[in-house]
Chains A and B, each alone.
Chain A
């Protein structure tokens, strides 16, 4: 769809000045939504085109970053609706909690820094997010990357708040386990303080 008004370079300039500064955040969000960086770039470009077409609906002074996230998410979800599939999601909260404790204890027992402070972990985090099944990746993208609260994420996804909560717990547990495994395999250990003489 093209705009029906005559070409207006000032409209493009104004839109770019207002919205392109959020591009790194939109990229981060899109990459957490999709598995593939090239797909994420397509989502980013389409997000900006849709935002430009709908620019008159943006309320000046409101949160442009959040507005772009909403457009990106809607575009992504609509695209994915075509590939709808069944996924077994419901877990057992008690087992998730036990697994979390076990993963942290196991990492600690072999000396891995469970705070995951090593700077080289960023690529591993991105990879671990990309490998999450989509329903879990979506809640991580909405809550951890876009900063929505549980109720907002539930509304966006059309699922109950309790489902957001359980998916988020499962997703974070999975990510934490994978990162602790990665940290252990890569030898990211806690420095042992030397005793004072």
Chain B
């Protein structure tokens, strides 16, 4: 699939994670915001990336797995401290 992208848009996509991670310099941030205000395509790319990162950082963990592991950790801590099993 061939996709035609403007060089300025490509630079925005390349920097979009820096933007979302708040790692851009003030000057670069202003440029980015200026481009995004004018470019619907790049706004869409950045929004997709924002949704993706939100999913990535909020992975669920199984509560039953955690409860079982917590018991295992408690038992190990008691052994470590020289205490008898609870």
Seen from chain A, the residues whose Cβ lies within 8 Å of a Cβ on chain B are 2-3, 6-9, 11-12, 15-16, 20, 23-24, 27-28, 31-32, 37, 41, 44-45, 48-49, 52-53, 93-94, 96-98, 100-102, 104-106, 109, 114-117, 121-122, 125-126, 129, 140, 143-145, 147, 149-150, 165, 168-169, 172, 175-176, 179
Contact = CB atoms under 8 A, between A and B. Distances in A.
Contacts of B57: 144-145, 147
Contacts of A101: 3, 5, 9-10, 13, 45
Nearest to B42: A101
Contacts of A44: 69, 73
A165 B53 CA distance: 15
Nearest to A143: B21
A115 B61 contact: no
* Interface band, chain B: 35 or more
Secondary structure class of chain A's binding surface, majority of residues: helix
A174 B33 CA distance: 26
Main secondary structure of the interface of B (DSSP, over half): helix
Interface of B: 1, 3, 5, 9-11, 13-14, 17-18, 21-23, 45, 47-49, 51-53, 55-57, 59-61, 63, 65-66, 69-70, 72-74, 76-78, 80-83
A109 B55 contact: no
21 contacts: A9-B81, A23-B66, A32-B59, A41-B69, A45-B76, A48-B73, A49-B80, A52-B80, A53-B80, A93-B14, A98-B5, A100-B45, A101-B3, A104-B45, A105-B1, A115-B47, A115-B52, A144-B56, A145-B59, A165-B18, A165-B23
Contacts of A2: 80, 82
A3 B78 CA distance: 11
